[in-house]
Structure 1
């Protein structure tokens, strides 16, 4: 037997005991009729936290982002600007084009998750009959592929000035919005102040089993409700899921600082190994996502590293790379490309799990670095 530490994503989190209790005891009704009291309570609570008028509970973050695009870009052939490394562009199957008839135009993300605002403004279109009409700008906060980076408030403020000048709405993919709040030490309402819509995920670092929400104005949510029904996202007695999300907001959000602290510890330990094959940007460690990079010139690949972390060899259990019960350690991770590995700290990771993960990383990284630098 081996002990498993799963750092693939914060989506692997399990609902807490308090969530399970709330789910079993939730007051229920038909949410499509707007009669589920627990869903209504969640939506009102989240809207108030974000300083918006209303919210809508939906099954997933992908659906939340697609609904926002469909509402803002309500004419087929509209154009929405997104970062080239954004979740909307990379990991949502091009749903904006496939379902909504919306062109996603990309702008290069900088390492901090932002993009060049002057370039963005220069690319707005709509006056020429040959071109699509720019109808939306979307940002991601925190930014997953950029390593959990938190967008600077100044960037969001400057973006707002530009978009208001052109009468364009801003959508924030805030799947990990509360991680951004923890890093900046500000209320979520400040971060999303100038956004016309925001999506928030409950099933990543907040540990709820299912669900996201879209937040915006009354008019926006009225339209979003229609799009949710169109996409098959209308749920009936959904309070059984919303109950867990309410617990997440009350009990898990305040603990996100522990995820950030543990991620920072891991990043510093990896940096302190001083290995040529594995590098990390500790200064850029903002939240719960840790990116480890392999130099482009190295023959080492992330596929090989991730596979090795998931294996237990005899030398590990005969040595010190094991639990106090003499179990080997399997560490699960993912990779973005052949040179970038991602570890994600989450609510289910204890201090013991953290140090077992660090022990395994240290053992494997040293082993692979020695082989790669012979």
Structure 2
């Protein structure tokens, strides 16, 4: 196991620098309740991400739940079956019903035409995902939301720092939700955030994440405890100083993979979707019929040799027990998502993945392509 390579590994800044921040927390005795580090991280993230307002959370799933609640979503929510299950779980937690529609074959993001066809009088929101950090068709999706008066909430868990044709992808829709989980490009151990456009919405979101408190003696909402701790916020502040370097290291690995695997038959590296700034959060490849073995066979072949890619996202969310009985859960309705779930493999990529390890992965894949198994 010591020599095993996993699909990702949390980025950790220098421990001594974190100890200094912890010392200040010990000095103040402030551990939570939107303390000074929490407030500073919100300010710094607004500057770094070029967004108007951001509200920190203890994790991205709670942030998704609160985002739906903040917009008063009640009814059906159009979303993707090709994502991590938290996307749809948040819909169930708010007593809403997911309606799954197909993704586009290239981007693996929700197709605008599929969204519009699925809209009914019961549609209460649209919840797309920027899959692998590749922006969805935000202009078209936002236009659909405006046309029908339906709020759009983007699950931007993969899209930290990503920019599209008009700047930060996080400024699209009514709200965007980030994850700062340990495996993400930017992490706070556990954490998340909601990006919004107005100070009024930020105040409301902040009330919802703090039990619904309005001042010291009044509770005006059925809120939740979604606050990020001072320890997580301090870690985030430290991480922010290293995130550009971390993204640059990811970019170098991405470049090597593309340059040295381009000639493998049936092995297709997914491209971007027009973003002007990438974060290289994942390295997904599609294993086609021309490759000498199936995606699953390659997955196990690599694992047996100490390299652990991941089948993100397999199986589809719609195949889990709590979703199977939904009328929209039949995979016949989304052939592109079903095919992707059977063909996509995410290769290891993280800042500390050294050149020797990347060489080992590339050699292993070239051997598999030559059927030397």
**1: distance between equivalents of 2:355 and 2:160?**
22
Q: Is the 8 A contact 2:134 2:159 kept in 1?
A: no
Q: Is the 8 A contact 1:264 1:282 kept in 2?
A: no
Count of residues in correspondence between the two structures: 322
> Which residue, 115, 122, 146 being the options, matches 1:120?
115
**Alpha-carbon shift at residue 81 of structure 1 (Å):** 1.8
Once the two structures are superposed, the pairs formed by residues 1-374 of structure 1 within 5 Å of their partners are: 2-6=2-6, 8-9=7-8, 12-17=10-15, 18-26=17-25, 29=30, 31-32=32-33, 34=34, 36-50=35-49, 52-75=51-74, 78-87=75-84, 91-92=85-86, 94-110=88-104, 111-126=106-121, 132=122, 134-141=123-130, 143-144=131-132, 148-151=133-136, 155-181=137-163, 184=164, 187-188=167-168, 191-203=169-181, 204-216=184-196, 217-228=198-209, 229=211, 233-235=225-227, 238-253=229-244, 255-272=246-263, 274=264, 276=265, 279-281=267-269, 283-284=271-272, 287-296=280-289, 300-312=293-305, 330-336=306-312, 337=314, 338-349=342-353, 353-363=354-364, 365-367=366-368, 369-370=370-371
**1: distance between equivalents of 2:143 and 2:18?**
41
**1: distance between equivalents of 2:50 and 2:291?**
48
**Alpha-carbon shift at residue 347 of structure 1 (Å):** 2.5
**1: distance between equivalents of 2:238 and 2:76?**
37
Partner of 1:327: none
Q: 1:19 to 1:369 in 2, by over 3 A?
A: farther
SS at match of 1:334: coil
**Alpha-carbon shift at residue 113 of structure 1 (Å):** 3.6
Partner of 2:217: none
SS at match of 1:140: coil
SS at match of 2:4: strand
**1: distance between equivalents of 2:232 and 2:87?**
26
TM-score (norm 1): 0.73
Q: 1:266 to 1:179 in 2, by over 3 A?
A: farther
**Alpha-carbon shift at residue 2 of structure 1 (Å):** 4.7
Q: 1:309 to 1:117 in 2, by over 3 A?
A: closer
**Alpha-carbon shift at residue 174 of structure 1 (Å):** 1.7
SS at match of 2:269: coil
**Alpha-carbon shift at residue 169 of structure 1 (Å):** 2.2
* 1:264-303: CA deviation from partner (whole Å, max 9, x where unpaired): 211321223x3x4x50236559634222333358783444
Partner of 1:315: none
* 1:6-32: CA deviation from partner (whole Å, max 9, x where unpaired): 2x235x333543445434434553643
* 1:286-329: CA deviation from partner (whole Å, max 9, x where unpaired): 634222333358783444433433445xxxxxxxxxxxxxxxxx
- In structure 2, list runs of 5 or more residues that go unmatched: 212-221, 315-341
**1: distance between equivalents of 2:29 and 2:101?**
44
* 1:4-59: CA deviation from partner (whole Å, max 9, x where unpaired): 332x235x333543445434434553643x4x111111123324545555322212
SS at match of 1:44: helix
RMSD over equivalenced CA pairs, Å: 3.3
**Alpha-carbon shift at residue 227 of structure 1 (Å):** 4.0
Q: 1:368 to 1:122 in 2, by over 3 A?
A: closer
* 1:63-106: CA deviation from partner (whole Å, max 9, x where unpaired): 2122212222443xx2222233234xxx1274234321111222
- In structure 1, list runs of 5 or more residues that go unmatched: 127-131, 313-329
